[in-house]
Amino acid sequence: MKQIIPKLLAGFIVLSLSHAASFAQQDEEAEVEENSGGILQRYGSNAASSLESVSADASSIPLLRDYSSVTDEVLQNPPDSDWVTWRRTYDNLGFSNLDQINRKSVADLQLAWTQEVTQGNNMPTPLVHDGIMFLYSAGDVVLALDATNGELLWRYTHDGKAVTSHKFGIALYEDKVLVPTSDLHMVALNARTGEVIWDHAVDTDEVTDYALRSAPTIAGGQVIQGITASFVPGGGFIFAIDLETGSETWRFNTLARPGEPGGNTWNNIPLEERQGGSVWNTGAYDADLDLVFYGVSPTYNTGPLLYSLGVGSVNNDALYTNTTLALRPATGELVWHYQHVANDQFDLDWAFERSIVELEVDGEMKKVIITAGKPALFDALDAETGEYLFSVDPGLQNLFSAINPVTGEKIPNPNVFPDAEEVRTVCPYYQGGRNWHASSINNDTGFLFVPIFEVCMDTLLDDTGTLLSSGLRADTRPVPNTDGNYGRLQAINLKTRELAWQYRQEVVPASASLATAGGLVFLGYLDNTFKAFDQQSGEILWETTLGSIPAAFPITYSVDGKQYVAVVAGQLNIHTGVWLGLQNRFSGFVPASQDPAALWVFALD
């Protein structure tokens, strides 16, 4: 087991937060401001609204003129050189077949170019096709750049007046760039010019507390998007827009309605008290099965669900929270669903990426959905049927005392259920043993790489908590008997269903992981570092210090045979601020001075 103790750094950081910081608990924002060594800054109206759009004359720029259509075939089988969806491929693996940068050559990795981007809260993913990089930048700005040097080709600035919200990114299809915006629009841009093709305003019946966070999924002739609805009566939904017309074609409500299937799982509370069911992550898609897969978050209105009514068929499972949904992309039809955890009383969402891998199960090759919630406990489901297959537990959580090997039902640990008289230690902390920092998977080796946070919470049902309506108080604390290391990169062998190596250090991860055919896994950290690990051993083979925190999704791509690795640093979010505060409280960590937000791109000499 490898461990390092990073040098404590001095300085300050400007932290840009969304207005809808729905994860805040017990004045957490004040805690961040006090402990992060910096200043909390809120953006009122769009932070980048002073920028003007700059369109391009594609006929005069060969790179734009020669841009080829991103067809269904390209999305299903992208060239190795490209990164065309949020996690590169429809199966959400976060894996690239490129291997020019590999275990032997990575020591020679050097900075190729940087490009400053807009300041603000974000968690972006660059996309690359035909040598053009498309980046959603903070403040509803989209940049088209020459992927070899960062030269600006065109820029689109959405003129909405909504408060800036962080997002995973955008999507590509044919000649379009699909952009979810902070004022709840879906905009289709011309990929060659940056000009608007259509602009669709999502109908929310004048409710303003929704947000679009994830990158869209393209499937079945639709651009499909989930919406967050943390405290919205009636909850969230997934919707589809026709790619040609820009008109909505269907929507699926993520909380079961009274009188509909699953409607009896809410202790008979009325629809307006059923809140949450947010969709934070981009859906996976399998073209052979013709299914898109999404995860749904829990509700914050946990008080009415604390105990089951025990009346007939009524229960407090709260469908479809903490559930994997399998939908038909053309119609929104629900084909199957699987609830990973019923009646979540701790905000430990099962809302993150659904990855599709091919694994041998009982002697038969199957397409398998792999996903983990905040407990960092991975479930495997049959992608075609939703049947439970197996679980792998990295050993942080104490929520469940057992897992039914046939159904996957999690057997609650009675010693951590909310109690009004006894303080109970629950692991992990409600920000999660894992969070939005996506795992990556090498399907050939079966290795999965997940960033993990080793922090717990002391809970007491004393009506002082502000996030959950039960009033549950949750005070963060280190893992019992901690050795002072809070960050972990965990490798899991999905073929053997066993934990492989782990790398642990004091400072926690800040980015998603990126795996490549070169035998590497890349990960960014809260101390501005960006590292490359050996996939087989966990050894650090290369690292560099960026100008600011890389709280984003790194990618890799190639142009004219040259491989690049890219990551945005300095566009932060509420989670970054929370962890800065916790690191300072637990170990005295103070972040280094932060340079302006920028895109950092590396290549071999």
The tokens for 256 are 């079961």
- Using a pLDDT cut of 70, give the percent of the chain over it: 92
- What average pLDDT does range 308-328 have in this prediction? 96
User: Which pLDDT score is estimated for 388?
Assistant: 98
* Residue 64 to residue 193: CA distance in whole angstroms: 8
Strand 14-17 vs strand 39-42: parallel, antiparallel, or unpaired?
Answer: parallel
- Average pLDDT of 166-193? 97
Compute the distance between CA of residue 386 and CA of residue 379 in angstroms, rounded to an integer.
11
Output the pLDDT for position 49. Answer: 57
Cα 191 to Cα 194: distance, rounded to the nearest angstrom: 6
The DSSP H or E segment spanning 75 is helix 72-76
The answer to whether 136 and 145 have CB atoms below 8 angstroms apart is no
DSSP state of 266: S
Looking at residues 464-471, what average pLDDT do you find?
94
Average of per-residue pLDDT across 79-105: 98
3-class DSSP assignment, residue 529: strand
How many other CB atoms sit within 10 Å of the CB of residue 493? 15
532 within 8 A of 102, measured Cβ to Cβ: no
Q: What is the pLDDT of residue 161?
A: 78
Residues 6+ apart with CB under 8 A from 264: 313, 314, 315
- Check pLDDT > 80 for residue 327: yes
Q: What is the pLDDT of residue 45?
A: 39
pLDDT value at residue 322: 98
CA distance 83 to 95: 10
State the pLDDT at residue 28: 40
Residue 130 burial (CB count, 10 A): 18
- 56 has a pLDDT exceeding 90: yes
Token pair, residue 433, equals 């043993």
- Which residue has 């599709």 as its token pair? 356
DSSP 8-state code for residue 576: H
pLDDT, position 574: 87
Q: Which two tokens stand for residue 85?
A: 């969806």
Give the model's pLDDT for residue 37.
Answer: 35
Q: What proportion of the chain, given as a percentage, has pLDDT over 90?
A: 88
Give me the mean pLDDT over the 500-526 stretch: 98
Judge whether residue 19 has pLDDT over 60.
no
Cα 492 off chain centre by? 19
Between CA 186 and CA 509 the distance in angstroms is 31
Q: Which of 604, 579, 570, 240 is nearest to 434 (CA)?
A: 579
* pLDDT > 60? residue 41: no
Return the pLDDT at 346.
96
CB contact at 8 A, 485 and 505: yes
The pLDDT value recorded for residue 130 is 98
Q: H or E stretch including 285?
A: strand 284-286
Q: In what order do the strands lie in the sheet with 355-361?
A: 355-361, 364-372, 378-382, 388-392
> What does the pLDDT average to over 231-245?
97
- How confident is the prediction for the chain on average, in pLDDT? 91
Element (H, E) at 34: helix 28-35
Q: Is the pTM of this model over 0.75?
A: yes
pLDDT of residue 242: 98
Q: What is the model's pLDDT at position 144?
A: 98
Confirm if 544 and 567 have CB atoms less than 8 A apart.
Answer: no
Give the residue, 35 or 388, on which the prediction is more confident.
388
Kind of pairing between the strands at 176-180 and 185-190: antiparallel
Instruction: Give residue 46's pLDDT.
Output: 42
Per-residue confidence (pLDDT) for residue 8, from 0 to 100: 21
**Which residues partner with 273 through β-bridges?**
none
Task: Assess whether pLDDT exceeds 70 at residue 63.
Answer: yes
The contacts of residue 124 (CB under 8 Å, 6+ apart) are 135, 136, 137, 138, 167, 168, 169, 552, 553, 568, 571
For helices 28-35 and 574-587, give the axis angle rounded to 10 degrees.
60
From CA 290, how far away is CA 328, in angstroms rounded? 6
Q: How many CB atoms lie within 10 A of CB 596?
A: 13
- Judged against a pLDDT cut of 70, whether residue 7 lies above it is answered with no
Q: Residue 341 pLDDT more than 60?
A: yes
Mean pLDDT of 492-510: 98
Q: What confidence score (pLDDT) does residue 34 get?
A: 40
Contact between 99 and 518 (Cβ < 8 Å): yes
d(CA 585, CA 31): 9
DSSP state of 272: G
Instruction: Please report the domains of the chain, with CATH numbers, ordered by start residue.
Output: 2-158+165-604 (2.140.10.10)
